[in-house]
Structure 1
Amino acid sequence: MSVARMFRGLSVRLTAPLESLDAVDLAGVVQGTGSSPVESAQRGQLVTLAGRVRTVLSGGGEQFLGVTAELYDGTGAVDVCWLGRRSIPGIDTGRFVKVTGRIGVRDGQKIMFNPRYELLSGQPRAGRGGEA
């Protein structure tokens, strides 16, 4: 690697917003799990996605859907909804999760209903060889 290229890479990492660096790192780790990127998942497609849970909502009252988590993989986000549930053990903000199901669209946002899921140990980290 040339010195100029090394300094260019360092300059980009020092001046880029933290969110974009996190997204790049997370997308690289997710790719190592063998999952599809959220950005390429299309409506009606059966896919396996992995990422970090950014939010978890549990509805109540007339609009009760169940537990909805936003899963972010660095390329995009998908809402993951388990209908009829008030909580899902292990589905917490910051948790690294892999889900498999069919992609839908609700209000312009990608959504997956009642997917199979796997809680991945640890947190995603770049430089750990794709292990989570």
Structure 2
Amino acid sequence: MAEEFPVVGLDSAAREAVELLAVRRLPGLIVVGAKGEPHSVLPASQVVRFLVPSYVQDDPSLARVIDESLADQVADKLANVTVRRLLPSEPVELPVVNHDDTVLEVAAIMARLRCPLVAVLKDKKIIGAITASRLLELVVTPH
């Protein structure tokens, strides 16, 4: 089930991480600590949350009246920012599964954590990831 998947470090440049999300159309990225251990998953939705000003999140109708040139500057928020800053301030449970977990076990973790991907571990090392779309593909494909 696991597929190769890019990882980024906590201190990686946020702009590069976001470009990786955008270019590869990923649902998120696996974030690792200094020793390469899994730290968290950065969902693309969390990046969007970081980029959209809080006053617009509180009142989405304001988005309609904001000039497009101001909207173009949203990406400038990523300058000199690390991946660490994009992560939620509250620690969340790490979305990881073992390499031999079943489809249902993986689905249960994704559903409980509302996470679009999980890191797959073997002997405490990341060997890949399973995305929600990959999981759904496995579920609907006849065996």
TM-score, structure 1 as length reference? 0.25
**Larger RCO, structures 1/2 (Cα 8 Å, 6+ apart):** 2
Question: Which structure carries more strand by proportion?
Answer: 1
